Chains A and B, each alone.
Chain A
Amino acid sequence: MKLPFALILVALSLTGCMVSYTLVPAAEESLVGGDELVVKPAIAWNALPVNYGQTKWDETWTRNGPLLDTVSFVGGLPDGQTLLKQKKKDDQKVPVFKADMTPQDLVSMMEASYRVRGITVFEIESVDPADFLGGKGLKVHYKYAPNDGMAKKGVAVARIVDEKLYVIKLEGVSSHYFDASTPEFDQIVASARLK
């Protein structure tokens, strides 16, 4: 009995691997992370298939593969929702977004979205005000060490508009990919608008 069940699992996981990426064309506006946030990348990207555990406000793109570089979007997370899906069995509590969060709370919530998934080494490098979606948001530089991969650098801009959270972030392997994509990230952030 056990072997067929295991084979079914293997078959299912293989099927999952075959879900394809979709091309995000260069120099065209794209709706990201729901139906409110619009950005215009200067170069073409590949949108990752929706994965298990991802919320409907979450979308991720990559150029060289998700292990090397990603740009991700949170397109209007409403008050009372979470950045990650809370797994019922988990001991760790995914923090809930609240529209009245202080900048410190927002940074903690973003950090917790890594920590609750078992990442211990996570360091904030800087937190500063930043222009985003026509107003002042915040910009966080950070780095972290996935437990089973290469160290990564990240930068995120975030702002609460009409009680919803909008985030764009870039992550890449520290050695090369992060720096290489930074100008494009800045360009995407500058292009962002609400529909």
Chain B
Amino acid sequence: MRGSRRQFMLGVGGCAACMSGLTNARVLPTDLEALIPAGYKPADADERGIWQSIEQIEESIQTSPQLLQAPAMHAYIRSIIERLVGRPTPDLRLYLMRNSSFNASMFPSGMMIVHTGLMARVRNEAQLAAVLGHEAGHYFRKHSIDQYRSIRGKAAAMAWLSTATSVGGGAYAAAGYGGAGNWIYAASAINAAVTMSVFQFSRTHEAEADAYGISLMSRCGYSPYAASQVWNQLIEERKASAAYRDKRYKDRSKSVLSTHPPTEDRMQDLADTAEFLSARNEQAVFDGRAEWLAAVEPHRAMLLDEQVRVNDPGASLYLIESLAQDGWTGLLRYNEGEIYRLRGEAGDQEKAAAAYAAAAAMPDAPPEAWRSHGYALLKAGKAEDGRVALNRYLEMNPSAKDAGLVRFTLAQ
């Protein structure tokens, strides 16, 4: 199986799907050209209809409380997109949305959504570029209009409805975060064709967008391996989440009915493609790690908070421990404690207390670490030490939202 994939990648294997029973469409990244020039306008009635159907969503997004106001991060992500595309992109409109799920999406009118849950998880600029390049692939290869016509061709209302529903549901299944909808889901529910998120669309289009994205990355010097690393991290996170719940990790995309390629297969395909491109590319590659860390630093506390409070303990511990591979910080230790405190199982109180104590011992401990440390000490019967810690919290953050209650606790 793997041998035939490599042959196909090298272009000498003929029809790999016929040879090996390979279910994923494979696409040579070098074969793909952008179909959308700068300043593109909808070409026909179908496209105009699609654009109109998403205008309203875009207007809602512009005034949504979920819109992240972060001009520096916005400019930075736009610069990555422009680097990938190789030209200024005034026709792409980028929105950073506060949503803890791992996702991004691209709409055919040029609206692009990046979730904070994606920002929380990528480890360097190249990994972010991998997802942005994938989304750009959907846009520049005009997948939405293909999909629209495909769905319309099937005609029956039930087919339309079930596609919209399963595509939207698929995004959540893969991301591991069910529950209430979001903008990407809302758009899917209105019109499955207009929405191309990381988890959506047909297998053929996903494979093509993967290949296109990785080709853009490689062309401007990013490590092409970053794409498979993103998926690997996501799979490991889901495995950690499942393990905590005593369940086996299940790749829900492996269903025959799933619209996107199985995640592990997809990761392998991306790694193979990276190998193919690396062999052709002599230039030094760059992962933009320092640049990403500098850009994300001002938002790290918010991003971790969003993840930890979802209360998916296995996934959150995976994320914190992965970030801590670069060294523990007060913020990471505090969040480790919060994971255990929210989980609240036997022994967690002690684990949380130890993490808060470790955080408080660090010079960069956030004020909230002292609050949690203080309450943990009070719970453990160390009243005096607890009061000292809570007072430290109030000194560091006198206008804290919960200062009234902390003062009340201290007065008891």
Let me know if A91 and B309 touch, CB within 8 A.
Answer: no
Residues in chain A near residue B169, CB distance under 8 A: none
Let me know if A95 and B404 touch, CB within 8 A.
Answer: no
Known: A92-B311, A93-B313, A127-B405. Is A148-B341 also a contact (CB below 8 A)? no
Interface centre among B313, B371, B402, by most chain A C-beta atoms within 10 angstroms, is B402
B179 is an interface residue with CB less than 8 A from chain A: yes
Question: Looking across the interface, which residue of chain A has its beta carbon closest to that of B343?
Answer: A93
Residues in chain A near residue B54, CB distance under 8 A: none
Let me know if A121 and B66 touch, CB within 8 A.
Answer: yes
Known: A102-B378, A120-B98, A120-B116. Is A148-B180 also a contact (CB below 8 A)? yes
Residues in chain A near residue B408, CB distance under 8 A: 128-129, 136
Segment touching B, from A14-22, A26-34, A109-117, A178-186: A109-117
Question: Looking across the interface, which residue of chain B has its beta carbon closest to that of A125?
Answer: B401
Question: Looking across the interface, which residue of chain B has its beta carbon closest to that of A123?
Answer: B401
Let me know if A124 and B402 touch, CB within 8 A.
Answer: yes
CB distance from B345 to the nearest CB of A (A): 9
Known: A126-B402, A138-B405. Is A116-B180 also a contact (CB below 8 A)? no
Other-chain contact of B402, A91, A95, A96, A127 (Cβ < 8 Å)? A127
Question: Looking across the interface, which residue of chain B has its beta carbon closest to that of A142?
Answer: B401
A54 is an interface residue with CB less than 8 A from chain B: no
Other-chain contact of B312, A91, A102, A120, A136 (Cβ < 8 Å)? A91
B229 is an interface residue with CB less than 8 A from chain A: no
Instruction: Type the 1/0 row for B51-75, where 1 means its CB is closer than 8 Å to any CB of A.
Output: 0000000000000111000000000
Residues in chain B near residue A120, CB distance under 8 A: 66, 98-100, 116-117, 306
Question: Looking across the interface, which residue of chain B has its beta carbon closest to that of A144?
Answer: B65
Question: Looking across the interface, which residue of chain A has its beta carbon closest to that of B179?
Answer: A118
Interface centre among A107, A127, A145, A151, by most chain B C-beta atoms within 10 angstroms, is A127
Interface centre among A2, A93, A94, A127, by most chain B C-beta atoms within 10 angstroms, is A93
CB distance from B218 to the nearest CB of A (A): 33
B182 is an interface residue with CB less than 8 A from chain A: yes
Residues in chain A near residue B288, CB distance under 8 A: none
CB distance from A3 to the nearest CB of B (A): 7
Let me know if A108 and B179 touch, CB within 8 A.
Answer: no
Complex-state Cα separation, A107 to B378, whole angstroms: 17
Question: Looking across the interface, which residue of chain A has its beta carbon closest to that of B371?
Answer: A104
CB distance from A154 to the nearest CB of B (A): 14
Q: Can you sample 11 A-B contacts with CB below 8 Å?
A: A91-B177, A91-B312, A91-B315, A92-B310, A93-B311, A93-B313, A108-B342, A118-B101, A120-B98, A121-B98, A147-B185
Q: Give the A-binding residues of B (Cβ under 8 A).
A: 64-66, 98-101, 116-117, 158, 176-183, 185-186, 241, 245, 306, 309-313, 315, 341-344, 371-372, 375, 378-379, 401-402, 404-405, 408-409
Known: A102-B409, A118-B178, A127-B402. 6 other contacts (CB 8 A): A91-B176, A93-B312, A100-B379, A120-B100, A127-B401, A145-B66
Q: Give the B-binding residues of A (Cβ under 8 A).
A: 2-3, 6, 87, 89-96, 98, 100, 102-105, 107-108, 111-112, 115-122, 124-129, 136, 138, 145-148, 151
